[in-house]
Structures are given as C-alpha cells and as structure tokens.
C-alpha cells in the first residue's frame, strides 16, 4: 500500500472564511498529534474563495482510521460544521509520483 493521505473538500458559508481557517488550524494542530507524518495543508480556491481543500499524510491507514474514531474528533469536526455548508472527506493512497 502507498502513502496514505486524508483529504477533505470544504465549502464554507459566505462570510465565515476567516473563522473557518482559524477553526481548521485548531483542528489540524490536534490532528497532528494523532499520527500525521507531515504537516496538514489547507488550500483555498482562488476562483471560488469559499471552497477549500485540506490534506495530510499519515503514518499508515490504521492511524487515519483510528483518528476519525477518537474521542474528541466529533466535537472538533462539529465546530467546523458550524461554519461550512458542506464537506466531503476521503482517505487516499499514493499510487504514483513523478
């Protein structure tokens, strides 16, 4: 299996972008303690500024799965949900690199 990553596409409520970034940073700091092997990234769509993408590499797929079931995960993701219209999380594995 290749390097696992988690990835989420977020659509933020209008006017809540800065608050979303602040809350995401808090969430990412907690997540960094749960098995990430590198820093989490948050990217903003320059053409649609309410759309964000986040991703981060994990030690292994089991760490990523456990992270989503940890006590505190739902509370933290709930704080993000307060300022987003939608989000689409997924777990990916790297299959190629150039």
Q: What is the 3-state secondary structure (H, E, C) of 19-42?
A: HHHHHHHHHHHHHHCCCECCCCEE
Cβ atoms of 32 and 9 closer than 8 Å: no
What's the CATH class of domain 13-86?
alpha beta
pLDDT band, residue 22 (cuts 50/70/90): very high
pLDDT over 80 at 62, yes or no: yes
Q: What is the pTM of this model?
A: 0.92
Q: Identify the H or E element spanning 77.
A: helix 73-81
Helix (H, G, I), strand (E, B) or coil at 81: helix
At 35, the pLDDT band (50, 70, 90 cuts) reads: confident
Kindly tell me if the per-residue pLDDT of 1 is higher than 80: no
Q: Where are the domains of the chain?
A: 13-86
Average pLDDT, the chain: 95
Whether pLDDT at 18 is above 80: yes
Q: What percentage of the chain has pLDDT greater than the value 70?
A: 100
Categorise residue 34: left if φ over 0, alpha if ψ from -120 to 50, beta otherwise.
alpha
């Amino acid at each position: 299996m290749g390097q696992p990553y988690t990835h989420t596409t977020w659509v933020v409520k209008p006017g809540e972008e800065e608050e979303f970034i602040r809350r995401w940073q808090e969430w990412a700091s907690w997540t960094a303690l749960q098995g990430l092997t590198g820093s989490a990234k948050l990217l903003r769509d320059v053409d649609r500024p309410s759309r964000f993408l986040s991703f981060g590499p994990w030690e292994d797929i089991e760490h990523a799965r456990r992270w989503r079931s940890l006590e505190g995960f739902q509370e933290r993701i709930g704080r993000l949900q307060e300022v987003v219209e939608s989000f689409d999380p997924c777990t990916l594995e790297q299959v190629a690199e150039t």
